[in-house]
Structures are given as C-alpha cells and as structure tokens.
Structure 1
Amino acid sequence: MTARGLLANRDARLYLIGQTLSLLGDSAMWLACGIWVKTLTGSSAAAGLTFLFFSLPTLLAPLSGLLVDRVRRRPLLVAANLAGALVVAPLLLVSDSGDVWLIYTVMLLYGWLNVLVAPAQSALLSTLLPTELRPSANAALRTAQEGLRIVAPLAGAGLFTLVGGQLVVLLDMVTFLAAAACTAALSLREPKPTRTAHDLTGGAVRPTKAGRLTAFGRDLGAGFHFLLANKTLRGVTIGTAVATLVIGFSDSANYAVVDGLRQVPEFLGVLQMVQGVGAIVGGLTATWVMRRFGEIKVAAAGVAFFALGPLFMTIAFLPAALAGKVLCGIGLPWMAIAILTLFQRVSPNHLQGRVFSALEVLTSAPHIMSIGVGAALIASFDYRLVLGAEGLVLLLSGWVLFGLARAGGALAPPPDEPGPAAPQPPPQATTATVVAVKDPA
C-alpha cells in the first residue's frame, strides 16, 4: 500500500504528525543543551557529557520494554510526552555555570523518556495500523528523522544563538504537548493487556513467592529469547549486530577522510549533508523495495550499500567520497526500516515492546563500542585500512543476511496475533474505516 493509503488513514496522519513534531523538538533540544553547557563552562569535555547522560538510560531498555508490554501503549505515550514537557521545564531556571548540573539531570531524564517512548511508539504502530501500512509509516518516520538531521543542527544552534536556551526549551515543551495531543486524539481503543508472566516456551508461570524472581527474569528477557529462538530471526539479529559493530568506524574516520581529501575540517558538514540527502532517498524508496523484495533482502541490500560507502572513501578523490556518503545514506535507512518492519510483523503483540528493546540493546551497544574501537584504530593505522576492513565486514554481514532471505523464506505473523486487518471501506465509502484491534495474548 502506498503513501497515499497511509495518509488517507486519520490515525496514521495523527501519529506521524505527533511523532515528527516530537523528533523536531528532541533534535533541537539535544544539540542546544550541548552548546549551552559549552557556553556556560567553556569546556568541550563538559559539553560532551550531555551525550553521556542522555545515553546512560539505554541500560534500562529491557525494563522499558517490559513496561510497554504491561500497559496500554496509547495512554503511556500520552503520559510520557506530558512528562517530557515537565522534565525540561527546570532548564528555564539555568542562568550560569553553577546550574550545569541541572542540564545534566534533565538530559538523564530525557534519555530515559527516549528509551521508554521508542518501544512504545513501535508497539503502538503495530496495533494501530494494518501490516500493509506499517512499512510506509516506518519509512515516513525515518525520512522525517533523516531530514531533521540536516535541519536540526542549524535549527538548534541557530535558535540558541538568536533567542537563547530558554526559548528552545519552550519550543521543546510545545512539541511534547503537541505529540501528546495527537496521540490522545487517536481513535484506537486498546484492551487491557494480560498481566501473565510467560516462561520461555510461552506457558504461564505460577506466581508463587519462590518463582516470582524467576518469572520476572523470564519476562524481562522474553524479547531476547524471541529474537534468538527462531533460526531466521537469530541470524538477522546477529548479522545486524555484526554490522553495527563496525559501522561506527566511519564516524571515527570522518575527520581523517576530510584530511585525506585535503579539505578544511568544516568540510565534514558538507559530507554529512550529502549523506543526509542519501538517507532521505533511502527513506522514500524503502517501502517500494520492501514490497518487491521483502524485508530481509532489503536489509541485506542496505548493509551492502553501506559497505560500499567506506570502500569508496578509501579513495582520496572527492567524487568518490561524495558517492560513498550517498551510498551510506541510502543503505542505513533501508537496513533500519526493513528490520524494524520485519520484527513488528512477526512479534506477538504482548512482546512488541520487549522485542524492540532487545533489538535496541543488541545493536546500540555494538555501535557505541565501534565508535571507540574505531577511534583507537584510526590512531594506530592508516584510516584507509580501517575503512577497508569495515567495508569487508559489512559485505560479509550483507551476504549472510541475503543467504537467510533465500533459505528462510517469508516469516509469518504469529498465528494467535496476526495483526489488524487492512481497512476495508464499504462500497460507497471514500475514506478509511476503523482499524480492528486484536486482544493481546
């Protein structure tokens, strides 16, 4: 189903508007906080700590996923967005370097909200929209995210310079409130989730005192078990984790690439913008290629496209570097959108939050590690050797994913939770009808 069908669905429109506004506020706020700390303290290290505090709550992702699966997702997202508006409000009190601790505290809470909101959004989408619309919705959100990566640095830095940090905070509060209003306006009515603990085979665990801790551990790890129990999903997860284990090398090598091109450091902004344009192209085309080839093949192609990027950048030639950035830009959204759509489609409703969080942990941790490892390698070896090794590992990962696509075939939705059916209007109707909602197991 095309983007036209997506936009014809009222709930889809509200969801996309709300989440796009939230992304805009988050992007501007995150960058503005770093600049704010740098302005108050004059320390680049202190400014860099804003990213650390924002990232620390990633460790709580499994708990967030469990919470998402234990409550209704729409009220949770409304509450989280309203809480976001309250969380950033203390930043209105920041006036000098003695208030930097307040920025760090807000960024820590902001990061936790991000870890909670992301799986809730994905889980809500799987219930809100039929299978046919989810690829378009995921692609639309990814395209908006990549577009904001081009605009947000200018918007965040520009707004901070022109109007100051407090007005950026007010803007972020408004986007939180708008996202909450859009989510609250959805016509979806979710049933109360079943509060039963599931063992590793899906059966109920008797809630005795002796077994509560074991049952909680099983519940907490249910998303990881789901990803690793099925041969095809296990292969996709491992292949993706291996890819993210080296993708950060490109981030670490960026300035070395600029030096190799004999450009000033500021030229990195041009390369990043070119990659952003490629990412928008990738987001806009992802739905079409998934419809033709399936999610796993598109994920494999995305990894392969990204692999060509660092290989092209080993050539100290500007057109090759620009082409490499475009390929990286196209490949990353293809991989991310395809894998997210696949796991939304095959995961049971009562595991959606935990599966998303498990995937986030298994891919984000290797990516963060790869940035540090890449920096160490760049300090010891020629950057072209590091980028060449990255490209080869990514090609191997793409080849493994493509082999899984050929051998494993299509993965069906869980038989007890096939997902909402596509809206079927009556003969005289001109707009989409109400989406059916399945009762979670």
Structure 2
Amino acid sequence: MASDRSVGYIRLLKTNRPFRNLWYAQVVSELGDWLNSIAIFALVLKVSGTGMAMATAMMAKLLPIFFVSPLAGVLIDRMNRRTIMMVSDLLRFVVVLGFLLVEDANDLWLLYTLAVVEIALAGFFEPARSAVIPSLTTREDLVTANALSGSTWSVMLALGAALGGALVSLFGIKTAFVIDACTFLVSAWFVSRIQFPKSAAAREDATSSGKPHDNGWVDGLRYLIRKPLVGVLTMLKTGLALGGGMMTLIPLFANKMFATEAAISMATGLMYSARGLGAALGPVLVKRFFGDSTRVLHLSILAAFFLGAAGFYLLSHSFNLGTAAASIGLVTFFGSIIWVFSSALIHLKAEDRYLGRVFSTEMAMLTLIMGLSNWWVGYAIDRLGWTLHEVTLGLAGAFLLPGVCWGLFLLVSKQMRKRDAVDSVCPVEPSDSKLPPSSY
C-alpha cells in the first residue's frame, strides 16, 4: 500500500498535462523567489545589518498581501485565473529588475518599495494557483496534488536558498536578481500552456462569471462563518505563522556565527536549505506511512504544532551551523504538514466558487501574523535586548497556542457529532406533561 501511494506523484505528473504545466511554473517561479530572498538578506546586511532593518525587509515581503487580498480574492473568483497568474508573473519580472538600482543605505526605501510591490503581485498569483488546482485534478488526486505542491515549495526553498547563497558569494547580489527576474518570464510561459479539461473549463467559466447576488469579499467572509470547519481550516496557517519570525532569525544566526559577507550568505543559504529539506519530507512521509484519510490529516496537524514547538526549543539551544540547520529542518518538517494538509482539507470541504476568497483570506491572515512575528523578533533583539536564545524560546511558546486551539476544536466537533448521532437514533418524543421544566 505504501509503495502504491508513493508513486502517485509521478503518475499525476505523467497523466495530467495541465497540472504538470502548473507545476513547472511553480518550480521555476519558486526557485527564483528564494534566489531573491537570499539576495535581499545579503543586501540588507550589507547596507545596514541591524535587526530592525532585516525585520522591516521581511515585513515588506509579507504585509502587502494582507491589504491586496480583499481585491485579489474577488478578482480570482470572477476572472480567468490563468490570466491573473500570467499578468502577475510579467509584472514581477519588471519589478525584480528594479532591485539592481539599490546601492547603499540611502536606497533602502527603494528596496522596501520594490519588495512591497513584488509581494503584492504574489498576493494575486499564489491564491489563484491554489484555487485552480481542483479544476485540474480529480477529487481523489487533491491530497496528492497538494502534497506535491507543498514538497515542491520545500525543495525549491532548499535548492534556491543554496543556489542563492552560492551565487551571491561567487558572483554578487545583482546576479541573483537578474536570474530571479528571468524565472518569472519562464513561469508565465508555462502558465500560458495550461489547458483546462472540458468538464473543468465549464466550471472555471461559471466560477469566474460572478453572480448577481454575490457581494464579493463580504460574501466570502459570510461563507466562512456559515462553514465553521472551512473557517477554522483557513486559520490554521495563521497559527503556523506565529513561528514565522524564524525567517528573520536565520540571517541573524548566520551573522552571529560568521564575520564575512560571503560566509554569512553561504550560512544563510544552508540554513534555508535545511528549512526546505525538512519541509519537503513531512507531508510525503505521513502520507506514505499513514495514508491520507481525513482523520490522519486532522491528527497530523495536531501533532505537528506540538512537535514543531519542540523544534524551536532545540533551535534555541543551537550554537553552531550544524545543530541550527538540523533544528530548523525539524521545525519545517512539521510546519509543512500543517501547510499541506490544511490546504488539502480546504479543497475537499470548500465550494469551488469561493476558493479564491478562501485562499486570499488565508494568505492575508498568514502574512499579517508572519509579518508581525518577524517585526517582533527584530524589536525584541534591538529594543528589548533579548538574545537569540530568548527570542527563539518565545517563538516556541507561541507555536503551541494554535495546536491547543485546534485540539479543542477537534474535541468539540467530535462531541457534537456524537450528540447528533444519538439524537438521530433516539429522537426525543414530544411530551404531553404540563409539569414545569424544573420538575423533570
């Protein structure tokens, strides 16, 4: 059984050409994204080097999605999703080339501005890519498609971070930006080759046509309230984002361990590679050994929050590159389980015509909390005088909170299902008694 499941990824790519083109676009685009991130980290450390400057750069790469998501979600559900992805890629090609103009500390404003625009465009691309997956795959392949997409993100993180560190060390920061810009052109080409199956094309047209009674973003929020399970699933990545400050911690750990720009960039790339390697393995191994039933997905998410917090604890006690990289890999091993399985459950439970707004809401809250988590790391280090050890322990504690909430939600849901089952088997007969309630 395990071996049968393990070849599902290859089968999906071989037999599903539309999804294969979407996957190719993801591979190229995300490889460039991580080249870009390493280059930005190196540039900020070069012209400033403070914790707040790094945290500001991280917030510039995260928070814009929170503000564009209301518009993005509605457009994704009312327009052609493939067109939205292509336009986003082409515009990001132009924006990334702008990083070549950043020379010194006086240009930090330009770096932050370009990062804001780039990530705002990503706020259209990523929810559209997530929303289009059910139109390209069968329901039976949804978990496999999400696991493959999540693992691809992780592998590209590992390869892109390592390649970015090497390129910055050997050829300079600007080379990484040029390569990153070109990846968006390649991604747009692959997206242009996506052809929807006939059955899915009709559904996609219906989804993007809009409805007269549809109130856009407000209607999407009402849907999340009417469907509490979908609403809670949408917030799981927000819980995951409480530990997002690790993105700022990684280059600061590297800056503490090494002295030269080349060594810092290489160490940052290696730690991000460990982050990607750990993330690539989590969902794949769980799916292989335990399957992909709804119960497995639910319990895996619960365990991942607690075990991820343990990984942060180990990171807080790491004082060399090897132990830090291993701890980071452990955190993201469990974090990727939360990410991939929550997406799969949303695809299984949410209506297709709301998927754009669901995933935009998810990304909005995810990036808001992740941005605040990164800001808190910089603030705690620069203004409160906390050590890296103390800040990492704080992230470990924060990571436990959503795990507790998810466990309580599962427990309450289980009790409600039991009560409904009892009521359906033994319905309460209406009573003719006139006694007051206190007398029963």
Q: Give the Å deviation of 1:355.
A: 0.4
Bigger shift: residues 309-318 or 74-83: 309-318
2:104 paired with 1:107: no
Structure 1 match to 2:433: none
List per-residue Cα deviations over 1:395-435 (Å, max 9, x = no partner). 523523543674577xxxxxxxxxxxxxxxxxxxxxxxxxx
Structure 1 match to 2:166: 158
Pick aligned residue for 2:369 from 366, 370, 376: 366
List per-residue Cα deviations over 1:121-157 (Å, max 9, x = no partner). 1111121212222222222222222223333333224
In 1, Cα distance between the equivalents of 2:141 and 2:183? 25
Q: Give the Å deviation of 1:25.
A: 1.1
Pick aligned residue for 2:228 from 202, 220, 231: 231
List per-residue Cα deviations over 1:15-39 (Å, max 9, x = no partner). 1111110001111123323434554
RMSD: 3.9
Matched ranges for 1:288-307 at <5 A: 288=288, 289=290, 291-292=292-293, 293-307=295-309
Whether the 8 Å contact between 1:278 and 1:327 is mirrored in structure 2 is yes
Q: 1:167 to 1:323 in 2, by over 3 A?
A: closer
In 2, Cα distance between the equivalents of 1:320 and 1:102? 36
Whether the 8 Å contact between 2:60 and 2:116 is mirrored in structure 1 is yes
Q: Counterpart amino acid of 1:51?
A: M
Pick aligned residue for 2:32 from 25, 32, 35: 25
In 2, Cα distance between the equivalents of 1:106 and 1:93? 10
The alignment partner of 1:55 has SS state of coil
Pick aligned residue for 1:191 from 185, 198, 205: 205
Whether the 8 Å contact between 1:22 and 1:175 is mirrored in structure 2 is yes
Structure 2 match to 1:77: 85
The alignment partner of 1:132 has SS state of helix
Whether the 8 Å contact between 1:57 and 1:111 is mirrored in structure 2 is yes
In 2, Cα distance between the equivalents of 1:327 and 1:132? 29
Q: 1:244 to 1:175 in 2, by over 3 A?
A: closer
Pick aligned residue for 2:150 from 142, 147, 150: 142
Q: Give the Å deviation of 1:338.
A: 0.8
Whether the 8 Å contact between 1:223 and 1:355 is mirrored in structure 2 is yes
In 2, Cα distance between the equivalents of 1:177 and 1:99? 26
Q: Counterpart amino acid of 1:16?
A: W
User: Does 1 or 2 have the higher relative contact order (CA < 8 Å, sep 6+)?
Assistant: 2
Q: Counterpart amino acid of 1:284?
A: V
Q: Comparing both structures, which one devotes a greater share of its residues to helix? A: 2
In 1, Cα distance between the equivalents of 2:270 and 2:86? 38
Q: Give the Å deviation of 1:64.
A: 1.1
Q: 1:301 to 1:21 in 2, by over 3 A?
A: same
Structure 2 match to 1:278: 278
Whether the 8 Å contact between 1:139 and 1:286 is mirrored in structure 2 is no
Whether the 8 Å contact between 2:158 and 2:273 is mirrored in structure 1 is yes
Q: Give the Å deviation of 1:118.
A: 0.8
Unaligned runs of 5+ in 1: 198-203, 206-214, 410-441
Pick aligned residue for 2:12 from 6, 9, 14: 6
Whether the 8 Å contact between 2:153 and 2:276 is mirrored in structure 1 is no
- Normalising by structure 2, report the TM-score: 0.73
Structure 2 match to 1:172: 180
Alignment: residue pair count: 387
